[in-house]
Amino acid sequence: MPLSFNLQEKLRQFHANADGAPKSIWITRGPEHLLASGAEGEGPLAGKLVAVKDNIDVQGFPTTAGCPEFSYTPKRSARVVEALVAAGAAVVGKTNLDQFACGLVGTRSPYGVVPNAFDPDYISGGSSSGSAVAVALGLVDIALGTDTAGSGRIPAGFNNLVGLKPSRGLLSARGVVPACRHLDCVSIFTRDVPLAADVLAVCAGFDPADPFSRPVALDPAFLPEKFRYGIPDTEHLQFDGDGLSEESFGRALALLAGLGGTASAIDFTPFAEAAGALYEEAWLAERYAAIQPFFDSQNASIHPVVRAIIERGRHHSAADLFMAMVRLGEWRQSAQIWSRVDVLVVPTAPTHPTIAEVLAEPFATNQRLGRYTNFVNLLDLAAVSVPALIRPDGLPFGITLIGPAGSEWKLLDLAARFHEASGLAGGLDRGGPPPAKTQARPEGTTVKVAVVGAHLDGLPLNGLLRSRDARLIAKTATAPVYRLFALQGTRPPKPGLVRQGASGKAGLSIEAEVWEIPTLSYGAFVAEIPAPLGIGSIEMVDGSRIQGFLCEAAAVENALDISHFGGWRAYLKHSGHEH
């Protein structure tokens, strides 16, 4: 299938830019591997270029998992890749990684160390190092990584990106070389939140071919405008002496407060203990099990640091694992903080090491980097890392928003609001702030409804909207084709909106608010509306039509016409009935 002109030009530019970027970003790339269906120019991701971490199968590309001797060429792409291609995206290459997805540093690969996009002396983070840097440098729009212990978040934080780690099992792992199979997640790198949400919507879904896939029920509710967020208690909020990171986290919290957040310190003990256990207890046995035949026969070909970590997994017994599972159950019970806070906020990483520091002390440095990431999959949580600021030394700093499984839309919504408020463009882009779009949800998950009376913000019935997790998204007006009447005998007082013709008078434009309500809550909200009001299609001043409150014509025959006030608020103020 011939490529469209626009895609041909985009690919030409990609290869020109990639030729000038660090070679260690890529393991395989080339136009001969483009998937034809990604060139059709149709679908929600049409024309987007995608890089794929080289432990995820792409048909026609070898899969190495960062180890040349392990290489094989799959006959079929991973399900997530198939979903992206079906949505119009084009895969341009396979990216470097910490071998067998074992590490948070980006230095454990025979294909070379992947340097940080902002300063080549510093680590890019791993294991999804190449994927993150490819997005940060603007070579691709989207990259897929994997995240078992933080590999989709640490590289995002270190390269000024959005890094989404979905709930376990929400994205299929069929066609992914496992690290810890029951914990592995495919992760998403983008330069802004709305695109990450679009990718999630395209890729999410139950897959019977993946034994750990599950139908995750995504919570449709919005985060409240006034929200509560938890932060680690003083004992556990550690930055390893990095004053710039500590100062940056404080500035990020101030930005959250400005968005309506109230912080409270939580007992971080169960999170910290779970984080420490991931590389110290029987969970290491699963890393060994993932590649056992290859490890037993060819371990000399494995990177020395990776080999040493996986070797430790050979010595745990089944009894060790069951005892670890009991401790994990205790941590999960102790970590149930969600009745007290809406979201947990942590630094994506406590500090940002240099490549030299990691090479000098690869084990302890890696463990410290996972302080705020290692526990997330063990405790069955969702997370998104979002850029916060650029430190005075020129390095990016990010925070991670964490919630229970299924909370992706809440997390992405807050991440979009935070990223927009930061004014910080993604990656190395110096062209301006992120998109001014705070709604990060796919079509069909919410309904827009126009209100003109007692449901307006701050008025008596507004609580019925807020109790259904609705949020105000616009203050606007109707098209100039309506009349507004003060209905008789209603408690609390309500107006009735009627399209022109019923009263024989010309229509006017009436003040309105547009609220967005989760689709799953909309039916219950509509069921509460008493006669003579109901829901119909309202024409807005911009010509669009959305759901909204209308009134039966018979109910306004003897009602006071208040259209000339321009809206219900102005009438209440004039009549002395405001609030």
Residue positions annotated with a catalytic role? 53, 127, 151
Element (H, E) at 321: helix 318-334
- Neighbouring CB atoms inside 10 A of 544's CB total 13
Q: Are 379 and 337 in contact (CB under 8 A)?
A: no
Rg (CA), the chain: 26
Contact 219, 406 (CB under 8 A): yes
DSSP E strand boundaries for 162-226: 162-165, 185-190
CA dihedral over 372, 377, 378, 380, signed as positive or negative? positive
Residue 323 CA to residue 312 CA, distance in Å, equals 17
Closest by CA position to 105, among listed 124, 130, 133, 121: 124
**Beta-sheet strands, E only, within 86-217:** 90-95, 142-147, 162-165, 185-190
One DSSP character per residue, 458-520 reads TSTTHHHHHTTT-EEEEEEEB-S-EEEEE-TT-SS--EEEEETTSSSS--B--EEEEEEEEHH
Q: Which of left, alpha, beta for 477 (phi over 0: left; psi -120 to 50: alpha)?
A: beta
C-alpha span between 103 and 315 (Å, rounded): 20
Helix 362-369 with 304-312: angle, nearest 10 deg: 70
Question: Tokens in use for 391?
Answer: 């430190």
How far is residue 482 from each of residues 74, 515, 540, 548, measured CA to CA in Å? 62, 20, 10, 13
